[in-house]
Amino acid sequence: MDLNTLLETTVVGLGYELVDVEMSPRGRTIRVFIDLPEKESGIDVEDCAKVSNQLSRVFEVENIDFDRLEISSPGLDRVVKKAEDFERFAGQDIQIKLRIPHGGRRNFQGELLGCKDGKVGLRLEKDEVELEFNNIEKARLVPRFD
């Protein structure tokens, strides 16, 4: 079983959402970002400890070699990867970087309108655009501080 499948199975099995995984260049540090959408207060230290303890046991059984395991909440500027996330966070500000330029641009920032039929809607300052979901290289929420 590959590492991503192992992480997804374990984290989801504990009742959390696997948001993202980062590996250090030599794979010695594994960073796992988890969320629990229905929990108002967000991820706390107990959640991280629970996932860390379980993953440590699973990695030992599966002979996954690593030096450090870090479990964290995705933060206010969380990564948005899945189509469901683009729908879930509609109405929030987002930064999107494309693989292939759209209208001569690769970077966009605006209000997320959602995701339908493989296209992500974005309201910019002066107009709206639809970006191909499969062309998105990176997307992050932009927190608002009012």
Residues 7 and 67 in one domain: yes
- Among 72, 100, 118, identify where a domain stops: 72
Tell me which DSSP letter residue 93 carries: E
CATH of residue 51's domain is 3.30.300.70
Residue 56 in this model has a pLDDT that exceeds 80: yes
Of the pLDDT bands very low, low, confident and very high (cuts 50, 70, 90), residue 42 is confident
- For the whole model, what pTM was predicted? 0.85
In three-state secondary structure terms, 143 is coil
In three-state secondary structure terms, 14 is coil
Of the pLDDT bands very low, low, confident and very high (cuts 50, 70, 90), residue 144 is confident
Task: Tell me, yes or no, whether 57 lies in a domain.
Answer: yes
Residue 146 in this model has a pLDDT that exceeds 80: no
Number of structural domains found in the chain: 2
Residues 30 and 55 in one domain: yes
The pairing of strands 29-35 and 68-72 is: parallel
Residue 15 in this model has a pLDDT that exceeds 90: yes
Q: Do 80 and 94 meet the contact criterion of CB atoms below 8 Å apart?
A: yes
Report the pLDDT averaged over residues 102-128.
Answer: 94
Residues 137 and 93 in one domain: yes
Structure tokens at 134: 């499969």
Residues 16 and 45 in one domain: yes
